Amino acid sequence: MTGRLTEQLGNYLMMRRALGYKLERVELLLGQFIAHLTESGTPDGFTIDDTIRWATAPQRSSWWHAQRMSAVRGFAVYLHAIDPTVPVPPSDLIPGSAQRAVPYLYSDQDICRLLDATGGLRQPFRRTTYRTLLGVLAVTGMRVGEAIRLDVGEVDLDNQVLTIRHSKFDKSRHIPIHASVATALRAYLDERRRCTTLPACPAVFVSPAGTRLLPSNVESTFRILVKQAGLEPRAGRCRPRMHDLRHSFAVATLLDAYRHDGEPTTAMAVLSTYLGHVDPNATYWYLSGAPELLALAADRLQQHQDNQR
């Protein structure tokens, strides 16, 4: 049945991806689960005990165990609809809730220190690539994956617009950029073209070998830059992450709306669309943990209440 499970896994992933889910991690986990069934000598199917043994095998956090079980449970529900004899693990079998990291809000000085740290990277082109990449992330609020997947044909420097295709939940959007960002990208692309040893690659941001950047390499390089920039964790769950450049952009945008007597509600709606959020609640989460923003919101509320009297 293992061969059949592999076939059913392909059908399961195809069905869910048609609904807009990416499922890269789920595909990896379920592939590992099926391989585990084969290696353990139970190729004809699985029991709930099998799922527990596999999900809890790695010596990692209960949250990770719950993630593994969640992947198997989703697949089991699909199989059970086809064959009622397939067992479905209870949803509360392995409790574990994800603890979101506390956003590390970068100051302008922090971002400048990160950009300066790129000067310590070895290859000149690698320095240019990461300086430009981090700068673009800081001033556009793009997801790291969106920047890595960005192709040259999706950059319209004349009209100062980036096109983000097939991002989270398979959504696409246009991002207007400032003239300074267009200038920086034009300079980078000119430098990229001057590197004649680079093979043809559609990606905007490429490695010195001319290949699209790998997320794992980008993350490891960012950790090096954080260390060189001297950025320290502010708490156990508040550590510098690349994704927090997005948080910082969101907070800075709304702070600007408050400080310049803008309309925060309108700014929030525009910001949510700009960031590519399907649900505005996701944008509100990005604004958590910003005391200055909370203080400005409280002042605005107090002014409104005073005007109603």
Residues with Cβ within 8 Å of 228's Cβ and at least 6 positions away in sequence, in order, are: 117, 120
**What number of other Cβ atoms are within 10 A of residue 222's Cβ?**
21
286 is catalytic: yes
Candidates 22, 113, 168, 212; catalytic one: 168
Residue in 65, 68, 246, 247 annotated catalytic: 246
78 tagged catalytic? no
For the purposes of burial, counting CB atoms within 10 Å of the CB of 142, is it exposed (0-12), middle (13-18) or buried (19 or more)? buried
Which is the catalytic residue, given 65, 73, 143, 149? 143
Q: Does 277 participate in catalysis according to the annotation?
A: yes
Question: Is residue 36 among the annotated active site residues?
Answer: no
Active site residue 68: no
> Which residue of the set 22, 239, 241, 243 is catalytic?
243
Distance, in Å, from the CA atom of 145 to the CA atom of 152, rounded to the nearest integer, reads: 15
Contacts of 6 (CB under 8 A, 6+ apart): 34
Residues with a catalytic annotation lie at: 143, 168, 243, 246, 277, 286
